[in-house]
Amino acid sequence: MKLVIAILQDKDAAQAVTELNRRGFRATKLASTGGFLREGNTTILAGVQEPDVEQVVSVLRRTCSVRHETLAPQTPSHSGEPYVPFPVEVTVGGATVFVVDVDRYEKF
């Protein structure tokens, strides 16, 4: 078994989960926050059999769009935060996907 961990933009999450469920895949949607933009995004966990991984990734590929976001100028309030003197445009997504081995799966 594999665990697909996918970080998506919030705008794509509902459709991605709907499409996964329609194909019989179970998924869990977690609210998350990107470390760079510090804005909300969505992390999806989907435990799937190895032969199904490509189908799950292709659903994510179809449902997740590339978008451009503008990082507003900011002065750091804590040490370690970036100093951004002028607006910066960043390209976000479609999705960031990790596929990891599952050593053990149990459902009670």
For residue 93, state whether it binds ligand 2BA (rule: CB under 6 A): yes
Residues 6+ apart with CB under 8 A from 66: 91, 92, 93, 94
Residue 23 or 36 having the CB closest to ligand 2BA: 36
User: How many other CB atoms sit within 10 Å of the CB of residue 3?
Assistant: 15
- Which ranges of 1-108 would DSSP assign to H, the alpha helix? 10-22, 53-63
For residue 15, state whether it binds ligand 2BA (rule: CB under 6 A): no
Residue 1 or 30 having the CB closest to ligand 2BA: 30
Q: Which of 86, 91, 101, 106 binds ligand 2BA (CB under 6 A)?
A: 91
* Distance from C-alpha of 108 to C-alpha of 104, rounded to nearest angstrom: 13
Question: Within 35-54, which residues bind ligand 2BA (CB under 6 A)?
Answer: 35-37, 41
Residues 6+ apart with CB under 8 A from 21: 27
**Bridge partners of 31?**
42
Residue 1 or 66 having the CB closest to ligand 2BA: 66
For residue 97, state whether it binds ligand 2BA (rule: CB under 6 A): no
Task: Point out which residues bind ligand 2BA (CB under 6 A).
Answer: 7, 34-37, 41, 90-93, 96
